[in-house]
Structure 1
Amino acid sequence: MKNLILNTDSYKASHFAQYPQGAEFVSSYIESRGGVYSETLFFGLQAFIKEYLATPFTDADIDEADAIFTAHGVPFNRAGWEYILKTYDGYLPLEIQAVREGTMLPTGNVMVQVINTDPECAWLTSYIETALLRAVWYPTTVATVSKECRNIIARYMDETAGNTDGIEFKLHDFGARGASSEETAALGGAAHLVNFSGTDTLSGIIAARRSYGADMPGFSIPAAEHSTITSWGKDGESDAYANMIAQFGGEGRLVAVVSDSYDIWNAIDNIWGGELKDQVETMGGTLVVRPDSGEPVEIVPEAIERLMVKFGCRVNAMGYRVLPDCIRLIQGDGVNAASIEAILEALKLRKISAENIAFGMGGELLQKVNRDTQKFAMKASAISINGQWRDVYKDPITDPGKRSKRGRLALIRDNEGFRTVRESDLGDRTNELVTVYRNGDTLNQVSFDEVRARAAQQ
């Protein structure tokens, strides 16, 4: 699936013959036109450039594309692709500008702009839309959802704990198995790691390392699943739990144990808070109890209250109750931005600090997003014909929300925040769009630490 010529929509193959005579350059842009959130956390373009645009296509790729498009029933611009192969050694003659990754950008602003660099390839700008838009909207949307969750958690930690210590481990990525592909898990998993350091999505770690030079951007702990508990049998539930402490407990260590295989209340009241209470309190680390069924807004407060009955609690400086350091809870079922807020609000009403809980988020984090979550689009905004630039735009009377921008664009930042302007009106102001790709070269690369730092500042 790495043939870049085939990484497009079928109808794109015929577009080379649809532009006006004399067309030399086409300029297009990507924006979030609105959506669930008023801002987006831009991330993921560098990974696409390194994975797809930094490798040239070949004669074999052209032959494959020719055969497939011809059999498929659409024309193939073989001459155009052969020209690129001969003139640019198979690298795409494009220039891509983008806002710095990690930037929180209000919707309605240009975040990426692309233009062909060779007047013989005016058709190429739009041809890359399918792959480029997909490379931007998905990781950006996941990063945005993850950032919103962090903002919610931070607010409740400030209110109920007086600080946000350890927030980087308050939302754990459980989404690998629910993603539609390994590449989806990799891109989405890396996007989550912009905001947090907890993950079980190894693919996201690899993506952050390979595309952004990260060292070790995410961490996990030993954790039980239902099969490793239920394989001991119902009568052996206590032994299964004791084995987890024996195998993974110790000074400064954390171990998570799913505890609802049979009866979560029995597990809390009589096993963790009864038979194994001494082991939990003396192992030197932290047991993280995991409920995995039921209505989270009801189950989580009840579970923490029961743990406090058995293990006690203290009252922090903000007047909220906190479990002893030896025990905590993680909720990983039914978790999304809305349920995180509902759970934390329910805890707050019971005077329970957000310090007591972490969350695991799976499909809602990596899979339950789409291009319309933030209304992403890539549109042509300018064309040069015989040396004359013209605006290109759409303005459908049936949907003003789909009105597109006109002209070559620039992004500025002033006292009012980010604003999109015409490139010709930039003057001496700094363009926040920087060139990240040109004719096969990856430019102005960013490290994962830079992306994280930029996201954290906003």
Structure 2
Amino acid sequence: MASGRPLQDISEQNEALKRENAQLYAQIKALSQRLAQGSAGVGYPLELVAGLRTLEAPMSVMADSYKAGHFVMYPECESMSAYGEFRSPFPNRGDNRFVFYGIRHYIDNFVGRKWTRADVDAAEAFYKTHNAGFTPYPFPRDLFNKFIAENDGYFPVMVESLPEGSVAYTHTPVFVITAEGEYSRLVTFMETILTMVWYPSCVATLSRFAKDKIKQCFEKSVDEDAYFLMDSRLHDFGFRGCTCVEQAVLGGMAHLLNFEGSDTMAASYHGQFHLNGGRPVGNSIPATEHSVMTAWETEEEAIKNEIEHFGDGAFSVVMDSYDYDSALDVVLPKVKEAKEKKGGYMVLRPDSGDPIEQVIKGLKAAEKTFGCTTNGKGYKVVNGAGVIQGDGINLEMMCDILDKVLEEGYAANNVVFGMGGALLQKLNRDTMSFATKLSHAVYPGGKERDVMKTPKSATSKCSLPGRLSVVRENGVPMVYPKGDPAAKGLESVLKVVYNKRPVQGAFDDVDTIKARVEREWEALKPNGNPISKQLDAKIKSILAARGHTAGNTKE
């Protein structure tokens, strides 16, 4: 059995921790002030505060290869516009709403980056051997040098976007890019970077659907005074499954728009210090891992050690290092006295076997050991203990477990879920079919043309024609031809976030974004069509002129 330290020593340690926390809070406030001024100080380089590292490469190569040659393929124009949209709903949910998030990252770190002659020189060294056979590849050197000289190095386009945290239906433009004059031919050069907003938006949408299910189960089985626990029921376990830190930060932060639980500390840190003025956005609890459990001679010793250090708060114990059933039936009763003496909340974590069976086993063992009460809705709540399932969790499995938990008579607040790869990694651009397409051109002399992709072999890939506006009509983001009289007086949803240089105050803090997600998701009914009658008529006219027989391709 582990030898315990005197209570006086523990009390002194706790007081020391309180003093350290007070000092840390003062440092946080000072750090946040420096961040607001654009510098984190000598001890905290800004890129570390942001939690991101990017590979060293000039902006002149931050695009798909073929983008570099499009400047001579596009016709001469006075202006061109392109837009980005999700063309398909999140799979298997029967709901075409999505949460838009992440464009700030791409504007702040890429589109809004100031170019220099060195970027062009570096590009030239690269492009001269980038064509097949390691021969010269075309790239718009003169246009690059021109905007470096004329526009102080900032990329010469305007970007409008939905506010982060906006909830809309598929086919709603999430951003619009406009370029003018000689720079029109650069309109889609940043498409590669901006299209990446698919990733954090997909994570935010997945996380939101998970919260929908959890909310339904809470409303059915949990007393209202425990609803505050809803925000901690889905925990981000995905850091180690990501391909890079940047992905973990972006996806982890997208999840934190809906929940507060996360073990992806880089995301919580980035959100707190770089995006939310020092105010915290994510939290976790002390928890063992298998290496900790197996380092002790017995699981009983390992658990009692954790209880000694953290037993007065919430803490988690992995229970399947050797034999999950034995740990529940034999070890758990042995630590009952120590746990109850401390008075904290013990979270049992199975990590192998059938997820549904293991969760129910854990709840029954916890009930047997610690007892339970029956809440006002007739469901059991285990006394001071619960279960977290992190192995094999995706959205469908989480829903199945919750259904079984309620079927067995337990309230939904008895369980927490950890989602890793399924939350941050098992997504791709095709998950919701994101695409960026040209929609409008003004040729020399002022002739305008509505541009629309209309492949007969895949009508689902038809794009939207013309200059587009997104307005709020009866609370719903609707897509109209820009300038249409029917949209006059309606609130414009698209906001300018970059206008040939960074726009000050273009983005909201995390608290504001979270509130927007909550408000707009609840207000927007599932399965809507955002295409106005006016835009639909234009779409049908173009399709008919090209021999298509399909009706509204956006239904």
TM-score bin (small chain): over 0.9
* DSSP 3-state at the match of 2:361: helix
* DSSP 3-state at the match of 1:109: coil
* DSSP 3-state at the match of 1:122: helix
- 2:493 corresponds to which of 419, 428, 432: 432
Indicate whether 1:275 and 2:337 are aligned.
Answer: no
- 1:13 corresponds to which of 59, 62, 68: 68
> Residue 131 of structure 1 aligns with which residue?
193
TM-score by length of structure 2 reads 0.79
Indicate whether 1:180 and 2:243 are aligned.
Answer: yes
Q: Deviations over 1:40-62 (max 9, x none)?
A: 10111112211223320221111
Write out aligned runs for 1:290-301 (5 A): 290-301=349-360
User: Structure 2 CA distance, aligned partners of 1:123 and 1:143?
Assistant: 33
User: Structure 2 CA distance, aligned partners of 1:18 and 1:162?
Assistant: 63
Cα shift at 1:381: 0.3
Write out aligned runs for 1:311-350 (5 A): 311-324=370-383, 326-350=384-408
User: Structure 1 CA distance, aligned partners of 2:258 and 2:456?
Assistant: 40
TM-score by length of structure 1 reads 0.95
> Residue 215 of structure 1 aligns with which residue?
279
> Residue 87 of structure 2 aligns with which residue?
33
- 1:230 corresponds to which of 285, 294, 297: 294
> Residue 304 of structure 1 aligns with which residue?
363
Q: Deviations over 1:17-67 (max 9, x none)?
A: 01113x122101111111325111011111221122332022111111111
Q: Which has the higher strand share?
A: 1
Unaligned runs of 5+ in 1: none
User: Structure 2 CA distance, aligned partners of 1:435 and 1:16?
Assistant: 25
Shift in alpha-carbon separation, 1:103–1:332, aligned structure 2, 3 A: same
Cα shift at 1:415: 2.5
Q: Deviations over 1:158-201 (max 9, x none)?
A: 11114332111111111000011110001001101101111111
Compute the RMSD of aligned alpha carbons: 1.4
Shift in alpha-carbon separation, 1:52–1:212, aligned structure 2, 3 A: farther
Indicate whether 1:411 and 2:470 are aligned.
Answer: yes
> Residue 22 of structure 2 aligns with which residue?
none
Question: What one-letter code is carried by the residue in structure 2 that aligns with 1:396?
Answer: P
Question: What one-letter code is carried by the residue in structure 2 that aligns with 1:12?
Answer: K
Write out aligned runs for 1:31-430 (5 A): 31-35=85-89, 36=91, 37-73=95-131, 74-116=137-179, 118-134=180-196, 136-163=197-224, 164-208=227-271, 209-213=273-277, 215-233=279-297, 236-250=298-312, 253-272=313-332, 274-324=333-383, 326-386=384-444, 387-415=446-474, 417-425=476-484, 426-430=487-491
Contact persistence 2:112–2:155 (CA under 8 A): no
Question: What one-letter code is carried by the residue in structure 2 that aligns with 1:378?
Answer: T
Q: Deviations over 1:68-108 (max 9, x none)?
A: 12211121211010011111121111111111111111111
Relative CO higher for 1 or 2, CA cutoff 8 Å, sep ≥ 6?
A: 1
Contact persistence 1:54–1:442 (CA under 8 A): no
In the TM superposition, structure 1's runs of 4+ consecutive aligned residues that sit over 4 Å from their partners are none
Contact persistence 1:16–1:77 (CA under 8 A): yes
Cα shift at 1:342: 0.1
Contact persistence 1:46–1:211 (CA under 8 A): no
Question: What one-letter code is carried by the residue in structure 2 that aligns with 1:92?
Answer: F
* DSSP 3-state at the match of 2:284: coil
